[in-house]
Amino acid sequence: MSVVCQENLVLAIYPFSRGFAFVLFEGIESPFDWGVKEIREKHRNDKTIIAIKELIDRYSPVVIVLEDTNSRVNRRSSRIKNLYQMLVHLAATEHIDLHRFSNTEVKQYFSAVGAVTKYQIAEAIGRQIPAFSHRLPRVRKPWMSADPRQSLFDAAALGLVFYGSRGIPSPFDADS
């Protein structure tokens, strides 16, 4: 396994029911690596932590960005909330800065470009980050399960909100 150590790498992670998605950023418009990893075995949280620990060991990010699940309106399952607690602990033991953003903060950030639904946010990201444009999932109907590719855009959105919270100009400002 090769080790890539670069300054200022930001790892945005978005767990979902069948695994997790991640986007590793070098800058607001520069995703360095990304992926969706499905984990279907027993002990999914433990397997997920191991996979994320491998990413940390490989890339040595300086920041991890997660969804804030402490809100009363957050509808994540108890397993996913427990996984988030495990991720918080992992970040602390690895001495990595941790930043968390709620769904409300993500929607507020993207509302500046008229994107308020998950799909609209994914479209906005696809327009700004060409590497993601062909990964855009289909529009989800109420009876459909969420496409795992959507979680990739959810992770990317968290990373972009992190950069926005640091005062880094949004790539969406050029559209306005």
Domain residue spans of the chain: 10-170
Q: Cβ–Cβ contacts within 10 Å for residue 2, how many? A: 4
Is the pLDDT at 1 greater than 50? The verdict is no
- Tokens 């993207």: give the residue: 110
What pLDDT is attached to residue 74?
Answer: 66
- The secondary element (H helix, E strand) that includes residue 62 is none
Please tell me what DSSP assigns to residue 72.
T
R_g of the chain, CA atoms, integer Å: 15
CATH of domain 10-170: 3.30.420.10
User: How many angstroms separate the Cα of 86 from the Cα of each of 50, 96, 131, 166?
Assistant: 11, 14, 30, 25
Least confident of 9-13, 68-72, 141-145, 162-166: 141-145
Is the pLDDT at 7 greater than 70? The verdict is no
Query: pLDDT tens, 49-100?
Result: 999 999 999 999 999 999 988 766 667 788 888 899 999 999 999 999 999 9
What pLDDT is attached to residue 61?
Answer: 96
What pLDDT is attached to residue 129?
Answer: 87
What pLDDT is attached to residue 46?
Answer: 93
**50: which 2 tokens?**
């191991």
Q: What does pTM read for this prediction?
A: 0.87
